Amino acid sequence: MNKSDVRAYVKRWEAVAEIEQRELQETSVAEKWWQLDAIKQRAARLGITQENGAEEMEIFLLWAKLKVDYA
């Protein structure tokens, strides 16, 4: 690999990162909730639990509300 190959490689990955960021920003709150629910269901099936899940969910709900109110 020479210098120009490395620059091209880095530039491609920067483009990928930009696309991923755009996709994350365009994801609706409903889609994020669906993803979170899928993760929680899988964790439950695998026996992975969290002691303070209710408190964390309250914080998540607050952030979701704030985002909707101010976005």
pLDDT of residue 48: 80
Four-residue CA torsion sign, 14, 16, 24, 63:
negative
What domain range is 37 assigned to? 3-70
Structural domains of the chain, count: 1
Helical residues (DSSP H) of the chain, grouped into ranges = 3-26, 29-46, 53-70
pLDDT of residue 52: 63
CA dist 13 and 21 (Å) reads: 12
Q: Is 20 a residue whose pLDDT tops 80? A: yes
Location of structure tokens 């109110």: 69
Q: What is the pLDDT of residues 23-68, one digit of tens each?
A: 888 888 888 889 989 998 998 888 887 666 677 788 888 888 888 8
Amino acid at 25: Q
